[in-house]
Copies of this chain bind each other. A is one copy, B any other.
């Protein structure tokens, strides 16, 4: 069932809660692919009812980012959700979520702000305010849908860690279920932004997973020094690549790792031409 209004969703949720049914939420920005589908399947399996939200959240895009050209494919998203057994597709307008005529700044809007220690690194460094927008909209979705479980992909691992921290800090009555990255056979992690890649770019984009898998292989052979492990990166890069970061960080609190261990996540952000892609791998 496709719903656009908060009040319609609430009505359905209240009905379900009265019946004692559990609710799963899969928050998305649409342009659904098999990565999303794996989250949706997990929710449908685990919960009595599943809500997929499709909302391109303006306040998590920074100036100059791809808000306007971000892929919008609601008809296809709806079909995919229906086929997967989703009960509600919640696709609100920006006006429905943030009201009309308001400047979406923290001058006039209540924000949920994750801790600086978690956001001043990795993607948060170049995407200033991004995670404030993410936490605010996810908090709103949690309040609207009141899910028992919420499903997030490990692809956006910094986001996942920050949202887990938000849930803990604010005592939100939801359990966050992390879901593994889904990859093409080539190793490329699925992402809605892969649509921006030319076929030449697509080839170059394989560098992300190749770099991460190579580092993991070296770690498994006994190499523990992040600096030395990081040096392997350069053999995978060409002139179409621009490396934003390659970092070794703790899987719980994102602290930098001086020595790699099983709780280390290796994070990478790489530009292929104009397209910025991210990926990560756990060394465990």
Contact = CB atoms under 8 A, between A and B. Distances in A.
Contact of A140 (B18, B20, B171): B171
Interface stretch (A71-79, A101-109, A187-195): A101-109
A234 interface: no
Interface in A83-141: 106-117, 135-136, 139-140
A198 interface: no
A239 interface: no
Nearest to A140: B171
B170 A110 contact: yes
Contact of A18 (B20, B109, B114, B117): B20
Contacts of A18: 20
B172 A143 contact: yes
Given A144-B171, A173-B10, A106 B116 contact: yes
A165 interface: yes
Contacts of A115: 106-110
Contacts of A172: 143
Interface string A1-28: 0000010001000000110100000000
Nearest to A14: B173
A112 B110 contact: yes
Interface string A197-231: 00000000000000000000000000000000000
Q: What is the total number of copies of this protein in its complex?
A: 2
A166 interface: yes
Interface string A257-278: 0000000000000000000000
A60 interface: no
A110 B171 contact: no
A114 B108 contact: no
Contacts of A17: 17
Contacts of A171: 6, 140, 143-144
A110 B165 contact: yes
A146 interface: yes
Most buried by B among A17, A106, A115: A115
Contacts of A10: 173
Contacts of A114: 110
A28 to B, nearest CB: 18
A237 B6 CA distance: 51
A65 interface: no
A184 interface: no
Contact of A166 (B20, B110, B117, B165): B110
Most buried by B among A6, A136, A139, A165: A139
A169 interface: yes
Contacts of A20: 18
Given A107-B117, A117-B107, A143 B173 contact: yes
